[in-house]
Amino acid sequence: MIPDWYYQAACGSADKSVFFGSSSPEDRPAYTLTTIKEARAMCAVCPVFNDCLTHAIKRREDYGLWAGTTMRQRKALFKKIDSGQTTEQEVLDSLRRKT
């Protein structure tokens, strides 16, 4: 199910391989710095950045690039949340774009 906010996302018409690698899970390449920079450039100007970030953290998205965060970054955040070092809300507050 695609959330309503997604239709306003800067990445809505972008090639999904920029954010998720190959369309075939068996063939998904490792992200490159170039790909991450390309995705983050879209995220930087995205009108629904905060919605995307909230979705990624609350749904525990473990694959793809969401709101400029990589799966590795989010997994580290989830580990801190699970260990009680921080809370989901604190993570969201620290990463949300100030409006």
Per-domain residue ranges of the chain: 15-95
C-beta atoms surrounding 49 within 10 Å: 22
What secondary structure does DSSP assign to 30-99, as a single string? Answer: PP-HHHHHHHHHHHHT-TTHHHHHHHHHHTT--SS-BTTB-HHHHHHHHHHHHHTSS-HHHHHHHHSPP-
Query: What pLDDT is stored for residue 85 in this prediction?
Result: 97
11-17 long-range contacts, Cβ below 8 Å, gap at least 24? 11/39, 11/42, 11/43, 11/46, 14/42
78: amino acid identity, one letter? F
pTM, to two decimals: 0.86
Q: What are the tens digits of pLDDT across the range 17-61? A: 788 876 665 666 667 788 889 999 999 999 999 999 999 999 999
Query: What pLDDT is stored for residue 28 in this prediction?
Result: 61
Task: Of 37, 54, 35, 45, give the one whose Cα is nearest residue 11.
Answer: 45
